[in-house]
Amino acid sequence: MSDKHVIMAWPELDISIEIQPNPDGSNRWIYDWYYEHLPVAYLQLHSCVTGDVFYTFFDIGDTLPHANNTDRILKKTQINECDNMGNIHFSYNVPNGLSGGNVSHIGVFYGPCYEDMPGYISGRCIKEDWDKLEKAGNLIHESFYHSKKPIRCVIYRKEDNLGWEEAIRLTSRKHETKAKDPEVRKLIDDLYEASERVRFNCPDEVLRLYKYRIVPQNQGGKMDQAFSTMVFAEGDCRQMSSYQMFMLCRMIDKDFTCEQMKQLFMDTVPLSAEFIWTCGLEEPWGFVQRMIKVLDRITDKVDLRELFFAFNAYLAHYHNWVHFMFPFGMGEVCRMIHKEDVEKMMKMFNL
């Protein structure tokens, strides 16, 4: 197989790096699948607990690939025990993982990681670009934790010789809805239109809560503060996207019936959607209410799958903004206590 290099660029930073497949050929099936689905573009996020890694979620316009035991063998790495500089994680349709259906997860490592978990690496930043990668990582960290100035990322094939503007333009997709019922088709079209709208534009209701600290339901609790609302809104939005819709979009391709998948949806998603509505994040609940109304009009898994995938795409892009705007920088007032700190504290008792 000939090497297929790609370019990862951040227009707001004026930085780009070059990525190659793993030199040992491991997880090449993942890398090649992504190569055929480029270009892609998304809002850049940064990890909160894993370490020096930035990532995102986005609709890639197709069903993510599955692993098997023949030509799609997965090689895993313990990410907290390896040299991570330059490692690139492209997600597959991983069971019990942070991707699902048509929503991808891409992670880029620019330093040490602390989360004790296995991962799978399918690409590497070329060593000549490590300095640029580290610079990008530090600037993305500053954007995510402090400045809140959005940064876009675009990935395209090196051989296509695209500029980032043309690459981003090519990522705007028009979904061809195939659902049989006209009301279901209209809802799917509206979801994909909303998904594209919020991909690079923060929803006003997210700004209202996270930037301006306005809680329209006055749900500020006894202390009349917005932070608790921000915490619960972020938590349930992540729950709905990463732990409910990703799961549903993976399970719908299993042996569950259409009625069983409808029931799984009803027993999970509406609770989170209605709760974040009370916190001021209202649009997702509006879409979920419309989904509930049309469920009885859907008689097969093909149409239900199309609806699930449309909501999955929209919600991933919407949650990216909730996650990005959350004031994670406030954690600086709750810094971790380490062993040496405890030893110093103990000495204070003997003064």
Per-residue pLDDT band for 350 (boundaries 50, 70, 90) equals confident
The 3-state DSSP class for residue 213 equals coil
pLDDT digits (tens, 9 = 90+) for 106-162: 999 999 998 888 889 999 999 999 999 999 999 999 999 999 999 999 999 999 999
The pLDDT of residue 44 is above 70: yes
DSSP notation for 117-159: -EE---EEE-GGGHHHHHHHHHHHHHIIIII----EEEEEEGG
Section 288-309 average pLDDT: 98
pLDDT at residue 222, rounded to an integer: 59
39 preceded by a cis bond (ω within 30 of 0): yes
Helices (H), the chain: 28-36, 130-142, 164-170, 182-199, 204-210, 227-238, 246-251, 258-266, 269-278, 283-294, 301-325, 339-348
pLDDT at residue 221, rounded to an integer: 65
Dist. CA 252–CA 303, nearest whole Å: 11
Location of structure tokens 């094939």: 157
**Long-range pairs for 68-74 at CB < 8 Å and ≥24 separation?**
71/29, 72/29, 73/29, 74/27, 74/120
CA neighbours closer than 13 Å in the CB half-sphere of residue 4: 18
H and E: helices and strands count for the chain: 12, 11
Domains of the chain: 6-170 (2.40.100.20), 182-330 (no CATH)
- Phi/psi of residue 175, each to 5°? -75, 135
Predicted TM-score (pTM) of this structure:
0.95
The average confidence (pLDDT) of the chain is 94
The pLDDT of residue 217 is above 80: no
pLDDT digits (tens, 9 = 90+) for 11-32: 999 999 999 999 999 999 999 9
Strands 87-90 and 45-46: unpaired
Amino acid identity at 202: C
**Considering only CA atoms, which of 147, 337, 331 is closest in space to residue 227?**
331
User: C-alpha angle 81/110/332, rounded to 5°?
Assistant: 90
Per-residue pLDDT band for 1 (boundaries 50, 70, 90) equals very low
b/e per residue, 305-340, with b = 16+ CB within 10 A?
Answer: bbbbbbbbbbbbbbbbbbbbbbbeeeeeeeeeeeee
